[in-house]
């Protein structure tokens, strides 16, 4: 299916690996002019050939750098994908293990980064009548199934997307959310530092951790989610083919969230 994204200007944050990298590749395959934002350029990101802007999105200055750099490269944005997020340091503890500094750091990256990037990009999105996709987490709907600072920040991001969609729809800007479950290279599963620490805290290797998570969360698909599967949902929601979808929260979660 042609998603009508050829020559559209797109910005993807957290683009060096995982879901962000898969989204960069999917948008590029659709013919979009993509700018990737990451703190560093990985070999895999460099191989895509897209423009890369280096920025730390846990800071206000980083959000400005990201959007201004993207607009310098491709003009006003038609598509904005807020994917940056994840664990900050050791996230294996319970409530009493997270001090104010840890809460602040997690919320900066997983919530306020998206707020700041959208604010900076919004005038251009008004001009293009563009689309925003925020990458949240199924943890927003199941907050007891992950580190508390992370899941509550993602819950805020999901609520923010719904509210912003209602406000910005009259300006022609659509805002939707994609909520993945445990994804390879994500917070709980894969080769990430957070996954390694969680496995160590349980005293198991990461393959065993993957099997435990599948069993505990009750994946109806019986396997870990692949980044490309999440990226497919993101790119569809960003495209004109989803022109009547606004304020939605798409779950790509292997069936673990059974709430109606």
pLDDT in tens, 35-60: 999 999 999 999 999 999 999 999 99
> Is residue 141, in this structure, part of any structural domain at all?
yes
Tokens in use for 73?
């490269």
**Residues 140-176: tens digit of each pLDDT:** 898 777 788 999 999 999 999 999 999 999 999 999 9
Tokens in use for 99?
């001090």
pTM of the model: 0.90
Q: What is the CATH number of the domain that holds 120?
A: 3.40.50.720
User: Tokens 């396997």 identify what position?
Assistant: 223
> Is residue 74, in this structure, part of any structural domain at all?
yes
- Burial tier of 95 (Cβ tally within 10 Å: 0-12, 13-18, 19+): exposed
- Asked if residues 114 and 157 have their Cβ atoms less than 8 Å apart, the reply is yes
> Is residue 46, in this structure, part of any structural domain at all?
yes
Task: Tally the domains of the chain.
Answer: 1
> Is residue 75, in this structure, part of any structural domain at all?
yes
Domain that holds residue 102: 9-183+226-252
> Is residue 18, in this structure, part of any structural domain at all?
yes
Catalytically annotated residues: 150
pLDDT, position 187: 53
Distance, in Å, from the CA atom of 62 to the CA atom of 221, rounded to the nearest integer, reads 38
> Is residue 190, in this structure, part of any structural domain at all?
no
Residues of the chain with pLDDT under 50: none
> Is residue 195, in this structure, part of any structural domain at all?
no
């Amino acid at each position: 299916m042609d998603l009508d994204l050829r020559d559209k200007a797109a910005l993807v944050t957290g683009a060096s690996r995982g879901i962000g990298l898969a989204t960069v590749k999917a948008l590029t395959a659709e013919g979009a002019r993509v700018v990737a934002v990451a703190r560093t350029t990985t070999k895999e990101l460099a191989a895509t050939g897209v423009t890369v802007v280096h920025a730390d999105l846990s800071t206000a200055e980083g959000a400005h750098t990201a959007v201004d750099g993207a607009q310098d490269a491709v003009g006003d944005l038609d598509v904005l994908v807020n994917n940056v997020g994840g664990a900050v340091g050791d996230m294996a503890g319970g409530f009493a293990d997270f001090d104010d500094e840890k809460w602040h750091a997690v919320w900066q990256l997983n919530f306020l980064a998206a707020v700041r990037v959208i604010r900076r990009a919004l005038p251009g999105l008004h001009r293009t009548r563009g689309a925003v996709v925020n990458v949240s987490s199924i943890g927003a709907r199941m907050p007891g199934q992950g580190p508390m600072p992370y899941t509550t920040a993602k819950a805020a991001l999901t609520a923010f997307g719904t509210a912003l969609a209602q406000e910005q729809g009259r300006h022609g800007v659509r805002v939707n959310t994609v909520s993945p479950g445990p994804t390879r290279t994500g917070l709980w599963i894969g080769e990430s530092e957070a996954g390694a620490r969680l496995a160590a805290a349980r005293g198991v290797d990461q393959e065993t951790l993957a099997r435990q998570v599948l069993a505990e969360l009750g994946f109806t698909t019986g396997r870990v989610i692949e980044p490309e599967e999440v990226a497919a949902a993101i790119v569809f929601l960003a495209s004109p083919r989803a022109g009547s979808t606004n304020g939605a929260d798409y779950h790509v979660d292997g069936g673990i969230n059974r709430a109606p």
